[in-house]
């Protein structure tokens, strides 16, 4: 037998230790060729004053094994603590979150007996960068950052995943009818990369109708690829409508490392009672085995698990009078799976895995070269709360200090144009965006912009809270227009 594959394991908090023991018992009984290295994460580590919840020495194990099987942790209440999941994803570059969801009808009750889909969620960008600022007394902002390499990586991953797992269709969910630049980039890259996969059906849906389809007709969806926030929300919906959030596993995949975990939390109220369902972590461990090239063992465990579910041997969370036959605890459920190793379900479709190393699904991106970048103006954001917030007064003040080469084009308030043309019904907050741009779109310089800012500060005596430069990239306008601009 080849040398055992080292993996890093964390038992976590709450129900974590029970479900991890159950999962590892199954893995060992099935003959998984693994050598777990245990690291400490969660409550114990947080209480030692480590704000990330993971001991600095644990990174050495993660960097050397590159594979992390993680039980849930309890997130401490109060400020000063960082999310362990976000830290692990960003530190190890785990850019793809993969969540398969499948119905196990009629054994686990669901309205969608044909549901069988995979959500591939971008994991590193979007609003999750957590860049937030209070800008005025009334307005806070959270920056949504989307990069082309980030889009290329996750979208290519989704197509490669579909190819490797013989999925037929990839559906992209965005909100690019509103966020034309940010979500528009994701959609554009989806179209570009999709062309390289002629055998896979491609479709795009606006996230709102996409979510409605997911909730109502999930059997029409196959692989879904989407941005971080949308993916976060829809993956819980998909898991719930499949039957139970307690069953789902997820993989976080990077170029060199990967982390596998159940999608549920540490469930403190049922901890230590031997009643938690270990299935979420078992399903995560199955994905891990495929990832490390032990697909035969993954298949064996998955089919034994399906057989156990089909036999009606259920933990309390999925137990239903009529469909279930026996209610069991965590340990007894694991024993039932172990007893079924080598068997396949008779009514539920058995799984067949081929060897897929998920990290190989990553391909180098080919970011388009930017050949020209022209500075054409500036958006100046102001905190202004005078003259009954009359936009005309503000407009006149700004026009008085704007140079001829960079006149005031418009002022908007929360994205709606309020000057020179505005509607009396539009609400004015204390947060104003004032756009200065050459009428014929001629380029400007940083010196002109700095001079303008100095005059707004010194002469108009207005409170500048931030600025955004306006550019044309490769001859195309690279900023959005305000409503009514």
- Residue placing its CB nearer to ligand NAD in the complex, 266 or 303: 266
Q: Which of residues 79-108 bind ligand NAD (CB under 6 A)?
A: 85
Smallest distance, Å, CB 269 to ligand NAD?
6
- Residue placing its CB nearer to ligand NAD in the complex, 179 or 270: 270
Q: How far apart are CA 31 and CA 13, in angstroms?
A: 27
Neighbours of 384 (CB within 10 A): 23
**Lookup: tokens for 257:** 């490392």
Site map (CB under 6 A) of ligand NAD, residues 273-292, x = contact: ---xx--x------------
Smallest distance, Å, CB 266 to ligand NAD?
4
Smallest distance, Å, CB 321 to ligand NAD?
18
At how many degrees (to 10) do helices 295-310 and 330-339 cross? 110
Q: Is 265 in the site for ligand NAD (CB under 6 A)?
A: yes
Q: Which of residues 13-32 bind ligand NAD (CB under 6 A)?
A: 15
For 167, 177, 437, 457, the CA distances from 444, given in Å and listed in that order, are 50, 30, 9, 20
* Binding piece for ligand NAD, criterion CB under 6 A, among 223-231, 266-274, 300-308, 449-457: 266-274
Smallest distance, Å, CB 150 to ligand NAD?
22
Smallest distance, Å, CB 245 to ligand NAD?
6
Half-sphere exposure of 180 (CA within 13 A, CB side): 8
Q: How far apart are CA 239 and CA 106, in angstroms?
A: 16
**Lookup: tokens for 68:** 């992390």
Site map (CB under 6 A) of ligand NAD, residues 39-78, x = contact: ---------------------------------xxxx---
Among 206, 270, 327, 341, binds ligand NAD (CB under 6 A): 270
Q: How far apart are CA 406 and CA 189, in angstroms?
A: 34
∠ CA 20-21-27, nearest 5°, is 85
**Lookup: tokens for 473:** 């990239």
* Binding piece for ligand NAD, criterion CB under 6 A, among 27-35, 258-266, 435-443, 474-482: 258-266
Give the number of residues in contact with ligand NAD, rule: CB under 6 A: 18
Q: 């993660």: which residue's tokens?
A: 62
Q: Is 417 in the site for ligand NAD (CB under 6 A)?
A: no
Q: Is 149 in the site for ligand NAD (CB under 6 A)?
A: no
Q: How far apart are CA 110 and CA 137, in angstroms?
A: 47
Q: Is 255 in the site for ligand NAD (CB under 6 A)?
A: no
- Residue placing its CB nearer to ligand NAD in the complex, 314 or 435: 314
Tell me how far apart the 2 most distant CA atoms of the chain are, in Å. Answer: 83
Smallest distance, Å, CB 330 to ligand NAD?
8
Smallest distance, Å, CB 77 to ligand NAD?
8
When CB distances to ligand NAD are compared, the closest residue is 265
* Binding piece for ligand NAD, criterion CB under 6 A, among 128-136, 181-189, 264-272, 286-294: 264-272
Neighbours of 388 (CB within 10 A): 7
Q: Is 267 in the site for ligand NAD (CB under 6 A)?
A: yes
Nearest CA among 194, 200, 276 for reference residue 17: 276
Site map (CB under 6 A) of ligand NAD, residues 292-331, x = contact: -------------------------x--------------
Cβ-Cβ contacts under 8 Å for 406 (sequence gap 6 or more) = 377, 378, 436, 437, 438, 444, 448, 449, 452
Half-sphere exposure of 128 (CA within 13 A, CB side): 21
Peptide bond into 426 cis (omega under 30): no
Positions touching ligand NAD (CB under 6 A) are 15, 72-75, 85, 246, 261, 264-267, 269-270, 276-277, 280, 317
């Amino acid at each position: 037998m080849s040398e055992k594959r080292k993996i890093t394991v964390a038992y976590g908090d709450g129900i974590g230790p029970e479900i991890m023991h159950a999962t590892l018992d199954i893995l060992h009984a099935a003959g998984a060729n693994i050598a777990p290295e245990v690291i400490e994460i969660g409550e114990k580590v947080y209480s030692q004053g480590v704000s990330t919840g993971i001991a600095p020495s644990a990174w050495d194990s993660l960097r050397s094994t590159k594979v992390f099987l993680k039980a849930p942790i309890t997130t401490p209440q109060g400020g000063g603590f960082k999310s362990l999941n976000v830290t692990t994803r960003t530190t190890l570059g785990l850019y793809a979150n993969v969540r398969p969801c499948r119905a196990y009808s009629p054994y686990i009750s669901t309205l969608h007996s044909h549901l069988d889909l995979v959500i591939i969620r971008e994991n590193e960008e979007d609003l999750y960068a957590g860049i937030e600022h209070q800008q005025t007394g009334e307005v806070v902002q959270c920056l949504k950052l989307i990069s082309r390499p980030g889009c290329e990586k996750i979208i290519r991953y989704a197509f490669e995943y579909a190819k490797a797992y013989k999925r037929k269709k990839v559906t992209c969910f965005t909100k690019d009818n509103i966020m034309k630049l940010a979500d528009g980039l994701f959609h554009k890259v989806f179209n570009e990369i999709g062309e390289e996969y002629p055998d896979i059906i491609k479709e795009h849906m606006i996230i709102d109708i996409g979510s409605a389809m997911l909730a109502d007709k999930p059997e029409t969806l196959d692989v879904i690829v989407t941005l971080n926030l949308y993916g976060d929300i829809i993956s819980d919906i998909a898991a719930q409508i499949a039957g139970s959030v307690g069953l789902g596993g997820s993989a976080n995949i990077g170029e060199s490392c990967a982390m596998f975990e159940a999608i549920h939390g540490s469930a403190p109220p049922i901890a230590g009672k031997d009643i938690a369902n270990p299935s979420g972590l078992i399903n995560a461990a199955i994905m891990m085995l495929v990832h490390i090239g032990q697909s035969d063992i993954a298949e064996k465990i998955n089919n034994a698990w399906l057989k156990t579910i089909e036999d009606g041997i259920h933990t309390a969370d999925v137990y239903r009078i009529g469909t279930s036959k026996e209610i069991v605890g965590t340990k007894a459920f694991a024993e039932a799976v172990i007893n079924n190793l080598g068997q396949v379900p008779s009514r539920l479709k058995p799984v067949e895995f081929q060897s897929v190393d998920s990290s190989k699904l990553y391909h180098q991106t080919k970011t388009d070269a930017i050949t020209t970048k022209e500075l054409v103006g500036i958006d100046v954001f102001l905190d202004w709360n005078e003259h009954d917030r009359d936009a005309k007064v503000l407009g006149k003040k700004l026009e008085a200090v704007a140079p001829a080469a960079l006149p005031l084009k418009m002022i908007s308030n929360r994205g709606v144009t309020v000057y020179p043309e505005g509607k009396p019904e539009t609400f004015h907050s204390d947060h104003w965006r004032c756009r200065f741009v050459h009428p014929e779109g001629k380029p400007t310089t940083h010196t002109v912009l700095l001079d303008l800012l100095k005059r707004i500060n010194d002469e108009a005596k207005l409170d500048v809270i931030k600025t955004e430069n306006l550019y044309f990239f490769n001859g195309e306008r690279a900023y959005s227009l305000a409503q009514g601009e």
